Amino acid sequence: MKRFFARNAPAYVFLLPWLIGFFLLALGPILASLYLSFTRYDMVSAPRWIGWGNYEYMFTRDRRFWKALEVTFTYVALAVPARLIMALGVAMLLDKGLRTIGLYRAIFYLPSLLGASIAIAILWRQLFAADGVVNQVLAMVGIQGASWITDPDTSLYTLVVLAMWQFGSPMLIFLAGLRGIPRDLYEAAEIDGTPRWRQFTRITLPLLAPVIFFNLVLQTIDSFKTFSSAFIISNGTGAPADSLLFYTVYLFNEAFKFFRMGYASALAWFLLVIIATFTAIAFFTSKYWVHYENERD
Amino acid sequence: MAGLTLRNVGKRYGAMSIIQGLNLDIHDGEFLVLVGPSGCGKSTLLRMIAGLEDISEGTISIGGKVVNDLPASKRELSMVFQSYALYPHMSVRKNLAFGLQNFKVSGAEVERRVAEAARILQIEQLMDRKPRQLSGGQKQRVAIGRSIVREPQLFLFDEPLSNLDAELRVQMRAELASLYARLGTTMIYVTHDQVEAMTMASRIVVLRGGKIEQFGTPQELYTRPQNLFVAGFIGSPKINMLQAKAKRGAGGTVVSVAGMPDFAIAELPTDDQALTLCVRPSSLRVGNGDITGEGTVRLVEYLGSETLLHIALSSGQVLLVSDNGRTSYRMGDAVKIGFDLPDLHYFDSRGQRIEVIQNESQAQ
């Protein structure tokens, strides 16, 4: 044991900053929040153990919790496919071998870097406001645009469009995946008279499946956690009419507006369960549709 | 089946010319091999015939029909790629059938052709496997099978054996040759391996720098190479090259080679004085010939059926001699080295072949 530490001491010294960070800033709060989810805690008085009380309230009496779930699931169901389709489409265009591909790659990636920022969310609000740029453009062609953000029927879709616009990161991964498919396969298909659409469905998509799977899991997790854009655009309330009451916005309000830390912790843990379930489903079904080149069987 | 005609075919990438003014007539049912060193344009030419590369100038005709503007799928040809290009997510059966499904071939016909190809290539037991579960040789068979099921007019092969190990390559070479004998379809085969070219081809095109160096049967290329490049490229072990000087006299021309006795030839149809003489290692022998010199054995390479002797002349030039496997020479032995005049190939200072009329007897 002594020898083990003597031999590995330098490694642990280098690991120490990360280890401290992990235990104090990650694992500690995670475990604390699990405990707090079984308590009533307002940050002033000490936490009070209430057992499954928070969870029971969540599922049986909290109508806003169900609303938040509905908003979030709708968003995930729309935003994830929209972003992935957009990302794949642009990646395929860039894969055509443009000379200035580096420039385009950077330009297309930019929204993803900026996307999570507060500034972009504010910009989005301006664009889709009643007198925003979108409506001004529509007015030019004689269309009276809706008040996109303040109308509960359309507000969520403005966020889906924002999500679509942030396709850069999955696009880069798709592009790398497309580059990995040997050209010979398309040439063989070309000689065999395979139409472009069939090449896409029978060669590109199956061979890209591992990358699609990776992006799907990552984007699903990401979308469930969408916060800053929803928070800014809804003024931190989930308005109008709770149509932008994302799960994370609701959780944030419970924690930092109403100081119901115990309940917010329970919400956070349930979000973890949702994300874990979806990831598990993706992994479980992947064996039926994801083909790995170097798989052994 | 169809023949293929290339007229003034060229390919340029910007200012760089890859193939220049190429003319070729490939007969119906011929096994043509395009051979040459890396970068000579042989694969590009094959891809141009396939329709995978545009041609910059000239015309390509298949079966008498100009196909310049026809897409690859309408040229009624199939191609076997160096990488095999098998669809990794499909079983062997699906790989074989995939192409046919684009050509409105009925299900029963697809099944018949796939079964027939599998039988010819003896891959019936592999039909449900994925490419990753196959060995290199098996993948190659599937790739060939995919070509066969199309029943094309023209088979194209782009270095199909270069990913296989030496033993398998020999085996597949024989199988391809028997497949050709069985199908009788026109085949165009690209390789950088002159042994493959010699063993399989009806005729060979030797390419260098996008130009044809020589076009002929394997025998023609071996026995009458038209230039130094072909002489050096075709034949293994490599041909010996000797620098020589020609001096015209009253009774003919005297040729001198450093380290060998001078000899006379009746007529030399060139004014060049600097010549290159080539002689195959198999045409040299240890002992007397029409011309006999002396040398020292520098290296003995025993190959079983033959022994390669590296013999240094007094000039320092080393000649390669192919002797039988029972040779008893050792390094350092002083030996006689001889060759007969008809076995010599003459090339002028530009490296072009010269037809020389030999004297009846040699000059001493």
Question: ipTM of the predicted structure?
Answer: 0.85
Cα gap B308→B240, rounded to integer Å: 13
| Residue A13 domain flag | no
Residue A115: pLDDT above 60? no
Closest partner residue to B85 (CB to CB) among A188, A293, A297 is A188
| Residue A270 domain flag | yes
Task: Report pLDDT for A297.
Answer: 45
Residues of chain B contacting A295 with CB distance shorter than 8 Å? 132
Cα gap B187→B78, rounded to integer Å: 10
Which distant-in-sequence residues (6+ apart) come within 8 Å of B28 by Cβ? B1, B2, B3, B186
Comparing A101-105, A207-211, B312-316, the range with the smallest average pLDDT is A101-105
Residues of chain B contacting A187 with CB distance shorter than 8 Å? 52, 72, 79, 81, 85
For chain A, the residue count is: 297
CB atoms within 10 A of CB B305: 8
- Total domain count for chain A? 1
Helix (H, G, I), strand (E, B) or coil at B165: coil
**Domain span at A80:** 57-295
Q: What is the CA radius of gyration of chain A?
A: 24
Distance from CA of A183 to the nearest CA of B (A): 9
| Residue A15 domain flag | no
| Residue A10 domain flag | no
CB atoms within 10 A of CB B192: 18
Nearest CA in chain B to A292: B89
Task: Report pLDDT for A153.
Answer: 87
| Residue A252 domain flag | yes
| Residue A131 domain flag | yes
- Give phi and psi for B269, each to the nearest 5: -75, 50
CB atoms within 10 A of CB A278: 18
Starting at the edge strand found earlier in the chain, the sheet holding B240-249 runs: B353-354, B345-347, B274-279, B240-249, B252-257, B263-267, B357-358
| Residue A185 pLDDT level (bands cut at 50, 70, 90) | very high
Say if CB A132 and CB A73 are below 8 A apart. no
- Give phi and psi for B284, each to the nearest 5: -95, 150
Q: How far is CA B2 from CA A129, B63, B183, in A?
A: 68, 4, 13
User: What is the average pLDDT score of chain A?
Assistant: 89
Tokens encoding A16: 């120490």
Q: For residue A74, give the CATH number of its domain.
A: 1.10.3720.10
Say if CB B258 and CB B227 are below 8 A apart. no
Question: What value does the mean pLDDT take over residues B85-102?
Answer: 93
| Residue A94 pLDDT level (bands cut at 50, 70, 90) | confident
Largest CA-CA distance found in chain B, in angstroms, rounded? 80
Tokens encoding B178: 């028997």
Cα gap B343→B347, rounded to integer Å: 13
| Residue A183 domain flag | yes
Cα gap B109→B93, rounded to integer Å: 14
Residue A103: pLDDT above 90? no
Which of A181, A184, A187, A191 to mutate against chain B (most B CBs within 10 Å)?
A191
pLDDT in tens, B261-314: 998 887 777 777 889 999 999 999 998 889 999 999 999 998 888 899 999 998
Pairing of strands A48-49, B353-354: unpaired
User: Of the ranges A286-290, B87-91, B263-267, which is most confident?
Assistant: B87-91
Residue A296: pLDDT above 60? no
Residue A257: pLDDT above 90? yes
Whether B89 sits inside 8 A of A207 (CB atoms) is yes
| Residue A39 domain flag | no
pLDDT in tens, A220-251: 999 999 998 889 888 888 778 888 999 999 99
